[in-house]
């Protein structure tokens, strides 16, 4: 067998950093165009200026800074002292009580894309972090017309390298139109727009040179890669910028390049379908729910395919099924070859993991698989990577710790909880399932308590509960052990 060795290849991320009644879930106003547009016969096209003119206002520059404390120092009295301070700093140890001042230190430069008219901006996770992997103290977004805004950090998903920011102003922002990245084909014309090397808004042209790049390891272990590959020039600082098609629609977020120093014509972007899913979940849930099968798959080699009597190496071979997992409960066995998850064709083990991860936990999927030479279908209800399950609205169900009330875990009432805590049928709300002894709210809640209303608003899921909590004193209407009435809660 021939072995191929790749020398001097570095793969790096490309920011310029130093190294529910229940209210309905928030509906984001996204400009989405799912249709594929075929070429027209109107004659030769000599410029894409009109296309870029429509899209570039949605692309922004992202600047990050860290706030550090600097000890105030006396100025050196002469050249000799200046020399000694430089070469013998131990002679001038700082007074621990010396006054300090805050100083802003630039961290890096990247790019971003405005997804909604009310100011939600998508960029890369690595763009808004420092060398210690901490969120930057200050994130500034600069529009193409020079307007600058301090951005609020909304959330990030390191497993896909997507981060969401929020900027505010009275007038609506120019939001990008989103295309369905699944319609892409190798050879489609694309443009990479961003702020490369911090020089300002820049557009470069190329084509889609590959799709479905999912085994590169660019984002590290236990991540979810499914990159669009392009030869459009992408350089450091393009991270978080837009990859658009020839009609000015977003198809991806530029993320990484392969090369020793800069652009060599191999750049990668996160497909718009993944970005849209991650962004929506970060805004609505604060995290990205991911489905779980509970098995260990592997790719089929040619020899393995022959051993199983298969003509093709496409599919994911089940090496092991985890005990008491969704896969085991659904009837999946070791040695099965999974070909489809619903209508998604599975070509490899990595693709199986990616498809399942993008499906909401609690969803029933149909697995098409080969067992002992026969093709069969099995319904399987997916579990959750995080342990949380989500309802059809996309909101978490089951016991979930409150983000606003640390140490207080609540759950929507189901039949098991109603029986366990003897909750009457007419009582609806959230039941407290756990109270940490060290929670500062421990005196206000007890296990088995049902929160029916928060400030006169009915709550039946955690999102509604937290949305109706306000700073200061809140009015709760609760039930506990047959007693119903009002109580107060001061949100600290």
Answer for the pair 130, 17: CB distance below 8 angstroms, yes or no: yes
Answer for the pair 470, 457: CB distance below 8 angstroms, yes or no: no
The answer to whether 161 is a known catalytic residue is yes
With a threshold of 0.85, does the pTM exceed it? no
Q: Name the residue with tokens 């007419």.
A: 426
Task: Sketch the domain layout of the chain as residue ranges.
Answer: 14-35+57-287, 291-384, 398-491
Which pLDDT belongs to residue 12?
45
Question: In the Cβ-directed half-sphere of 350, how many Cα atoms lie within 13 Å?
Answer: 13
Helix (H/G/I), strand (E/B), else coil: 79: helix
Which pLDDT belongs to residue 38?
61
What distance in Å separates the CA atoms of residue 106 and residue 130, rounded to the nearest whole number? Answer: 10
Q: Name the residue with tokens 């928030």.
A: 26
Which CATH number applies to 398-491? Answer: 2.30.42.60
The CATH class of the 14-35+57-287 domain is mainly beta
- Return phi, psi of residue 357, to 5°: -65, -25
Which pLDDT belongs to residue 102?
72
* Closest to 61 (Cα-Cα) out of 13, 130, 113: 113
Answer for the pair 64, 136: CB distance below 8 angstroms, yes or no: yes
Which pLDDT belongs to residue 6?
38
Which pLDDT belongs to residue 241?
94
* Domain pair 291-384 / 398-491, same fold: yes
Helix (H/G/I), strand (E/B), else coil: 141: strand
The answer to whether 403 is a known catalytic residue is no
Residues of the chain with pLDDT under 70: 1-27, 34-45, 69-77, 82-83, 85-101, 259-263, 387-400
Cα 146 from chain centre: 28
Burial 175-209 (b: 16+ CB within 10 A, else e): bbbbbbbeebeeebbbbbbbbbeeeebbbbebebb
Can you list the alpha helix ranges (DSSP code H) found in 21-87? 49-55, 79-87
Answer for the pair 234, 267: CB distance below 8 angstroms, yes or no: yes
H or E segment to which residue 252 belongs: strand 250-258
Which CATH number applies to 291-384? Answer: 2.30.42.10
- Could you say which of 161, 188, 231, 336 is catalytic? 161
What distance in Å separates the CA atoms of residue 432 and residue 319, rounded to the nearest whole number? Answer: 40
Q: Name the residue with tokens 């009609």.
A: 247
Q: Is 330 left (phi over 0), alpha (psi -120 to 50) or beta?
A: alpha
- Could you say which of 15, 58, 111, 126 is catalytic? 126
Q: Name the residue with tokens 């659904």.
A: 330
Report DSSP state, residue 352: H
- Could you say which of 15, 58, 209, 239 is catalytic? 239
What distance in Å separates the CA atoms of residue 366 and residue 381, rounded to the nearest whole number? Answer: 9
User: β-strands 472-480, 450-454: how paired?
Assistant: antiparallel
What distance in Å separates the CA atoms of residue 122 and residue 34, rounded to the nearest whole number? Answer: 20
H or E segment to which residue 472 belongs: strand 472-480
Return the bridge partners of 122, or none.
113, 164
Return the bridge partners of 228, or none.
269
- Listed in sequence order, the residues at least 6 apart from 277 whose beta carbon sits closer than 8 Å to its beta carbon are 288, 358
């Amino acid at each position: 067998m021939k072995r191929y060795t790749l020398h001097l290849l570095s793969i790096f991320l490309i920011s310029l950093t130093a190294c529910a009644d229940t209210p309905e879930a928030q509906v984001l106003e996204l400009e989405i165009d799912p249709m594929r547009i075929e070429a027209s016969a109107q004659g030769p096209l000599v410029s894409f200026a009109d296309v870029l003119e429509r899209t570039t206002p949605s692309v922004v520059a992202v600047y990050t800074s860290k706030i550090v404390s600097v000890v105030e120092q006396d100025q050196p009295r002469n050249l000799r002292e200046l020399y000694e301070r430089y070469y013998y700093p131990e002679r001038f140890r700082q007074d621990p009580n010396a006054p300090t001042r805050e100083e802003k230190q630039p961290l890096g430069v990247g790019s971003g894309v405005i997804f909604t008219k009310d100011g939600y901006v998508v960029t890369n996770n690595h763009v808004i972090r420092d060398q210690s992997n901490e969120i930057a103290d200050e994130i500034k977004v600069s529009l193409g017309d020079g307007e600058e805004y301090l951005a609020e950090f909304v959330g990030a998903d390191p497993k896909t390298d997507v981060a969401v920011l929020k900027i505010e102003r009275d007038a609506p922002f120019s939001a990008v139109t989103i295309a369905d990245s699944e319609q892409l084909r190798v050879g489609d014309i694309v443009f990479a727009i961003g702020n490369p090397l911090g020089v300002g808004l820049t557009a470069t042209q190329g084509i889609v040179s590959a799709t479905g790049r999912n085994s590169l390891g660019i984002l590290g272990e236990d991540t979810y890669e499914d990159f669009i590959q392009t030869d459009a020039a992408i350089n450091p600082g393009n991270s978080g910028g837009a990859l658009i098609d020839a009609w000015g629609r977003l198809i991806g977020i530029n993320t990484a390049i392969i090369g020793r120093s800069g652009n060599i014509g191999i750049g990668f972007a996160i497909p718009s379908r993944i970005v849209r899913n991650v962004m929506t979940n970060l805004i609505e849930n604060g995290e990205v729910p991911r489905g779980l099968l509970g098995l260990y798959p592997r790719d089929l080699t040619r020899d393995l395919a022959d051993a199983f009597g298969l003509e093709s190496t496409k599919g994911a071979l089940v090496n092991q099924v985890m005990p008491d997992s969704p896969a085991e409960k659904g009837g999946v066995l070791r040695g099965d070859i999974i070909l489809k998850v619903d209508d998604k064709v599975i070509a490899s083990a990595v693709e199986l993991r990616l498809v399942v991860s993008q499906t909401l936990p609690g969803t029933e999927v149909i697995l098409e698989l080969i067992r002992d030479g026969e093709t069969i279908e099995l319904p399987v209800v997916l579990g959750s990577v995080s342990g949380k399950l989500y309802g059809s609205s996309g909101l978490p169900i089951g016991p979930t710790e409150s983000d606003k009330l640390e140490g207080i875990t609540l759950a929507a009432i189901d039949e098991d909880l109603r029986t366990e805590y003897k909750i009457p049928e007419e009582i609806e709300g959230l039941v407290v399932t756990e109270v940490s002894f060290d929670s500062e709210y421990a005196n206000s809640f007890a296990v088995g308590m049902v929160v029916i209303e928060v400030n006169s608003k009915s709550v039946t899921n955690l999102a509604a509960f937290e949305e109706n909590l306000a700073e200061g004193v809140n009015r709760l209407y609760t039930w506990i052990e047959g007693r119903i009435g009002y109580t107060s809660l001061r949100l600290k």
